[in-house]
Structure 1
Amino acid sequence: MPVPSELTREHWRRAGDHLAAKMLAELCFEYALRPEPGDGPSGPDGTGPWRARVHSAAAYLFRGRRTTMDGWRVVPGTALREAADGTTAPASPFTLLRDLGTAGIVDPAVEAFTVGELTATLSSDARLAESAATSADLADLPHAHLEGHQGGHPWIFANKGRVGFSARDRAQYPPEALRPVRLPWIAVHRSLAEHHGVPGLDQEALLAGELGADLTALFARRLEEAARRTGAGAAEFVWLPVHPWQWDEVVVPLFAAELAEGLIVPLGEAADDYLPQQSIRTFTNLTRPDRLNVKLSLAILNTMVYRGIPTELCRAAPASTRWVHALYEGDDFLSRRCRVILPGEVAAVAVRHPVLEGIPDAPYRHRQLLGALWREPVTQRLDPGERARTLAALLHVDGRGRAFTAELVERSGLEAEEWLRALFRAVLPPVLHLLYRYGLAFNPHGENAIVVYDDRDRPVRLAVKDFVDDMKLLDTDLPEYSGLPAEALGVLMRFDADELTSSIAKSLFVGHFRYLAPLAQEQLGVAEERFWELVRAEVDHYQGEFPELADRFALFDLAAPSFERVCLNRERLLGGGYHDRAERDAEFHMDAPPVPNPLHTAARTGEHA
């Protein structure tokens, strides 16, 4: 019975110190805790002592500082738990969770459940610590391998819970395992399954591209043999890959009747090696990088939701892809100036469970059990010498305290401000143009937004993935929506202008720049205020170039005084039924003051380089 090699005292304690600091920082941001200045002088790095009372018998002492957007930076290893008698002991994620429960900040059932999520997160962080890869090492990695060295969602602290995975699964399937996976394929009768694709990518074309002639022929022979036994024809089946874990944990147990009746037929394992991306259930093909990325249903709970693929998304994805690509091709700013990459979700297969999906208002996780979605690989859209890295990678700090961003800036040969200008010039204009010109909002958070760099590690352009799943439209029709296919229009989310604006603010500003700005101050010497001035300058430059969109600038006001404060962790901790909602994205509002918007107060410098 081997113990995972990463589970050493050194790795565990280091991971615990960092997670306790993150928990305190995010709980302060979400107003679950209200810190007050503590006793003692501030440190040379500007961090001061703080004291946050959780309940009458416990408070937490730590060193940290306030940042823009009401954020917090807590120094790992400085947090102490102060008991009622004044004695202190090193803080841990578990003592903090228990104190939150005592204070009534956590629903009791969720508190017990979260212990497992925190333990799994710490185990994964210990594995990352064990690798000891430096930022210099990571800067040389290809996109698929770099995904396995990142720390996960910067905002949600139980961000690698992966509820459902066993110890063996955790050693095999997460991105930080860096273990190639081969995917089994199945055939499902068309009474249960449906295939959707962009023009030219019907099932036959998809299989030719993803499996090749020899493997397709082998699988076809196996299907014909199985179909003869049941009297069905091989042409009556739809093919798709399935995650190995999902086959064992979901398909065989829950689709046992369909397996017995020959409505689901296992075809065998495909020959290509894949690596999981940060989302765990999306895979990059290592053997044939020109083949599509594939996203699979995976019924584990991670960062608040189960990772299924809804049938309606499968129906809408190819149609939405066609529409977005048509917008792109007809817009010189997007296609020639920005050269933004929009990797299309070009094919999808949805499989319904004949019993579970017939239950009215059943929790969403029972209705998204089996499906696959194929997406164009970003790396195949790169020019020679270009390299792609997720926006999330810029927040990574290695075990020696060196930020990945600092490594890239040094390699670029640019001054730090000039490099940040290049980053904002790559990221912001296409996101702004899609919002203002077309009334389209995505969620360009750290995982979905991919920065493309030139051969000197200078940011040059942007790729945005998952734009179908996360795409939002205005709740009133705009002229730009006229070409949107009906099968997509009926499925895509519709919201008011504030919500579309909030999607950009929450995902990019609060969810990413809130962390990147203080990191730039600490490691690049660019003050946070200056960071936001550079962001504002890029927004102003775009608006100055398109004065005819002035009404849209007012409608989607990114320079408003404040944004709604979304409390992801509080929602998680108090939402006892969060994973049993009928709809995944059902509202769960937490009362908290708005987040001050640094773009509102940033100087309108007019700078652009």
Structure 2
Amino acid sequence: MTDTSAAPLPVPAELTAEHWDRACDHLVAKMLAELCFEYALAPVAEGPDRWRADVGGARYRFAGRRTTMDGWRVRPGTAVRTGPDGNDAPASPFALLRDLGEAGIVDPAVEAFTVGELNATLSADARLAVERVGAAELADLPYAALEGHQTGHPWIFANKGRVGFSARDRADFPPEARRPARLPWIAVHTSLAEYHGVSGLEAETLRSRELGAAVTARFTERLTAAGVRPEEYVWLPVHPWQWDEVVVPLFAAELAHRLIVPLGEAEDDYLPQQSIRTFTNLTRPDRFNVKLSLAILNTMVYRGIPTELCRAAPVSTGWVHALHARDAFLAERHRVILPGEVAAVAVRHPVLEDIPDAPYRHRQLLGALWREPVGERLDTGERARTLAALLHVDGEGRAFTAELVKRSGLDAESWTAALFGAVLPPILHLLYRYGVAFNPHGENAIVVYDAHDRPARLAVKDFVDDMKLLDTDLPEYAGLPDEALGVLMRFDARELTSSVVKSLFVGHFRYLAPLMDEHLGLPEERFWALARAEVDRYQAEFPELADRFALFDLLAPEFERVCLNRERLLGGGYHDRAERDAEFHLDAPAIPNPLLTTEETA
């Protein structure tokens, strides 16, 4: 008799004890290191590179070391938890989270919520551990393909929570899936949707450029067949998850009245970047990257696209590009690439957006941004990689940066000096000369390498979304359109300085310095001395900006310590950091500035 019973429910192949335990060892080491950095734990030395920390009635012992910037490195697989009953067991992320809850360091609602985020993060890490692609192979990958091998935010430990994704979504949509996808397009009536583009990039021009004549004609026919007037509609791609989870349920009335009309899939294949909702075109690399609304919670915020940003992005892009074009230091000497957000579509929900003070996640449900691709701006032989890639260590323990240094033919110090020479001068110039700060963290800052894998120049993306201006007008702001001035974030000088410090120094170099010490033998103090030399070199070249050097003081004795994980965990019941007061922060000792010498700090 034939067995007609259904097949068993599928379990993701990466969920094996070996992969899970390895992922847990690495994640709990990261949690301990970041909680020590954020002063949630107070480690006590027990011997050379051996530490203990007590929390919630439990004691943790681990191998690790202090690093510059008051950071920590904890060696995976060394953490042992001694419970209140005196029994020892390998430390786990969940036991540590529970101990933090017992100690009052975690809000109970957030603790329960974080369990899911940690599970999702561990599942994604287990998936990355399956292949263990080596650093040499990774160094040969193109930009878009390399994105699928990265491990995520180095600071936030629940960095792949992706709340809202099902198991099947996690298999299909994140970058580590490395699955090319075709994007569905929809048309939205102009009573709900608005298009904005840089000069010369009208909606029809964008459609022709991104879709081609045949697809444009096919989509137009579908609108006609639906009984509507095509000229009354704005077109945009939509993430398949967003269509199922947001558009169909929440825009049901608009679908019923054909104010939203599905058009079908476009023909190009795309790969998601580390941000998940930004896609690189594989079929036509000359076409734009596209960033889509994706209403999942990931690394502390929901990933929508606000209408105000859509209005400001093209005009802000035009202003930044004009600034770049007339500045020889940026455009000619350092040949900085600033891939702009050149077009945007925002779609308004007719009910939710009329609710006063509704949480932002209900008001950013549907939109798209088109960004210039970095690859089209590269010279022959050049290769682009995100700054984040430099922190990657492969499954065999080899650092990606060590592979690049080997290929370059330079010693570690010369290569690092080249890295700082590519990355720092443009960021300093934009801050000091123009009073403009970005968030040049590992995902947004892109290093361009020459044919020998030597750092050559910098690209910065997401500069409209993350761009900050001083809260008092500077002469350099003249010409910035009102649409942008009314939307762009305005802060005091300390906050603009902090955006560079937090994103680049604390959020990236704090990890890169010890990595280069361990894998390339470059002492951390020398790493920071090379960075300081680049700052000094810039300031010596532009003495007329002395008042700006004092205003945006990167050589202060210390920097504010931001506690990203503690702010999230002790969140008063909020799961979403952006829903709280923007000034919410936890008091913690300042971070000593590693750019200063011992004599300067004495």
- TM bin (shorter chain): over 0.9
Closer, same or farther: CA 434–584 of 1 in aligned 2, 3 Å: farther
Tell me which residue corresponds to 1:275.
271
Tell me which residue corresponds to 2:26.
18
The DSSP-based 3-state class of the residue aligned with 1:388 is: strand
Tell me which residue corresponds to 2:194.
194
Q: Please tell me whether residue 506 in structure 1 is matched to residue 514 in structure 2.
A: no
Tell me which residue corresponds to 2:55.
54
Amino acid at match of 1:311: T
Closer, same or farther: CA 567–527 of 1 in aligned 2, 3 Å: same
Tell me which residue corresponds to 1:234.
230
Closer, same or farther: CA 602–508 of 1 in aligned 2, 3 Å: farther
The DSSP-based 3-state class of the residue aligned with 1:598 is: coil
Moved more, 149-158 or 580-589: 580-589
1:249-264 equivalent positions in 2, closer than 5 A: 249-264=245-260
Out of 465, 484, 487, the residue aligned to residue 480 of structure 2 is: 484
1:35-184 equivalent positions in 2, closer than 5 A: 35-38=43-46, 41-42=47-48, 48-55=49-56, 57-184=57-184
Q: Please tell me whether residue 456 in structure 1 is matched to residue 457 in structure 2.
A: no
The DSSP-based 3-state class of the residue aligned with 1:238 is: strand
d(CA) in 2 for partners of 1:567 and 1:581?
12
Q: CA deviation at 1:427?
A: 0.2
Closer, same or farther: CA 400–581 of 1 in aligned 2, 3 Å: closer
d(CA) in 1 for partners of 2:579 and 2:232?
31
d(CA) in 1 for partners of 2:578 and 2:239?
24
Amino acid at match of 2:168: R
d(CA) in 1 for partners of 2:567 and 2:369?
29
Tell me which residue corresponds to 1:597.
593
The DSSP-based 3-state class of the residue aligned with 1:560 is: coil
The DSSP-based 3-state class of the residue aligned with 1:97 is: helix
Tell me if structure 2 keeps the 8 A contact 1:394–1:516: yes
Tell me if structure 2 keeps the 8 A contact 1:68–1:514: yes
Q: CA deviation at 1:5?
A: 1.1
Q: Please tell me whether residue 362 in structure 1 is matched to residue 358 in structure 2.
A: yes
Closer, same or farther: CA 507–556 of 1 in aligned 2, 3 Å: same
Q: CA deviation at 1:576?
A: 3.9
If the length of structure 1 is used for normalisation, what is the TM-score? 0.96
Tell me which residue corresponds to 1:434.
430
d(CA) in 1 for partners of 2:586 and 2:578?
19
Amino acid at match of 1:62: F
Q: CA deviation at 1:3?
A: 1.4
Moved more, 76-85 or 134-143: 76-85
Q: CA deviation at 1:83?
A: 1.8
d(CA) in 1 for partners of 2:67 and 2:235?
51
Out of 404, 408, 417, the residue aligned to residue 408 of structure 1 is: 404
Tell me which residue corresponds to 2:6.
none
1:485-564 equivalent positions in 2, closer than 5 A: 485-564=481-560
Tell me if structure 1 keeps the 8 A contact 2:568–2:575: no
Q: CA deviation at 1:82?
A: 1.1
Tell me which residue corresponds to 1:382.
378
d(CA) in 2 for partners of 1:323 and 1:556?
22
Structure 1 residues 270-302: Cα deviation after superposition (integer angstroms, max 9, x where no partner)? 111000000000000001000000000000000
Q: Please tell me whether residue 321 in structure 1 is matched to residue 317 in structure 2.
A: yes
Structure 1 residues 234-279: Cα deviation after superposition (integer angstroms, max 9, x where no partner)? 2111000000000000000000000001100001111110000000
Structure 1 residues 86-131: Cα deviation after superposition (integer angstroms, max 9, x where no partner)? 3311000000001011111111111111011000000000011101
The DSSP-based 3-state class of the residue aligned with 1:81 is: strand
The DSSP-based 3-state class of the residue aligned with 2:490 is: strand
If the length of structure 2 is used for normalisation, what is the TM-score? 0.97
Tell me which residue corresponds to 1:424.
420
d(CA) in 2 for partners of 1:360 and 1:94?
38
Tell me which residue corresponds to 1:350.
346
Q: CA deviation at 1:595?
A: 1.0
Q: CA deviation at 1:601?
A: 2.7
Q: CA deviation at 1:85?
A: 4.1
Give the % identical residues.
80
The DSSP-based 3-state class of the residue aligned with 1:113 is: helix
The DSSP-based 3-state class of the residue aligned with 1:99 is: helix
Closer, same or farther: CA 408–9 of 1 in aligned 2, 3 Å: same
d(CA) in 1 for partners of 2:204 and 2:85?
72
Q: CA deviation at 1:84?
A: 2.7
d(CA) in 2 for partners of 1:7 and 1:86?
31
Tell me if structure 2 keeps the 8 A contact 1:305–1:584: no
Tell me if structure 2 keeps the 8 A contact 1:536–1:603: no
Q: Please tell me whether residue 214 in structure 1 is matched to residue 214 in structure 2.
A: yes
d(CA) in 2 for partners of 1:211 and 1:161?
33
Closer, same or farther: CA 585–141 of 1 in aligned 2, 3 Å: farther
Root-mean-square deviation over aligned CA pairs: 1.2
d(CA) in 2 for partners of 1:591 and 1:278?
31
d(CA) in 1 for partners of 2:538 and 2:381?
28
Q: Please tell me whether residue 32 in structure 1 is matched to residue 28 in structure 2.
A: no
Q: CA deviation at 1:583?
A: 5.3
Amino acid at match of 1:384: T
d(CA) in 1 for partners of 2:120 and 2:130?
15
Q: CA deviation at 1:588?
A: 1.8
Structure 1 residues 532-556: Cα deviation after superposition (integer angstroms, max 9, x where no partner)? 0000000000111111111100100
Q: CA deviation at 1:577?
A: 4.6
Tell me if structure 1 keeps the 8 A contact 2:182–2:270: yes
Amino acid at match of 1:17: D
Q: CA deviation at 1:4?
A: 1.0
Tell me if structure 2 keeps the 8 A contact 1:391–1:446: yes
d(CA) in 2 for partners of 1:387 and 1:580?
36
Tell me if structure 1 keeps the 8 A contact 2:300–2:577: no
Tell me if structure 2 keeps the 8 A contact 1:198–1:319: yes
Structure 1 residues 3-51: Cα deviation after superposition (integer angstroms, max 9, x where no partner)? 111111111110000000000000000001011112xx42xxxxx1101
Q: CA deviation at 1:422?
A: 0.3
Tell me if structure 1 keeps the 8 A contact 2:291–2:369: yes
Tell me if structure 1 keeps the 8 A contact 2:38–2:563: yes
Count of paired positions: 592
Q: CA deviation at 1:465?
A: 0.1
Q: CA deviation at 1:233?
A: 2.3
Tell me if structure 2 keeps the 8 A contact 1:364–1:581: no
Tell me if structure 2 keeps the 8 A contact 1:536–1:602: no
Out of 4, 8, 13, the residue aligned to residue 12 of structure 2 is: 4
Q: CA deviation at 1:600?
A: 2.4
Structure 1 residues 462-504: Cα deviation after superposition (integer angstroms, max 9, x where no partner)? 0000000000000000000001011001100000000000000
Q: CA deviation at 1:311?
A: 0.3
d(CA) in 1 for partners of 2:318 and 2:531?
31
d(CA) in 2 for partners of 1:505 and 1:283?
28
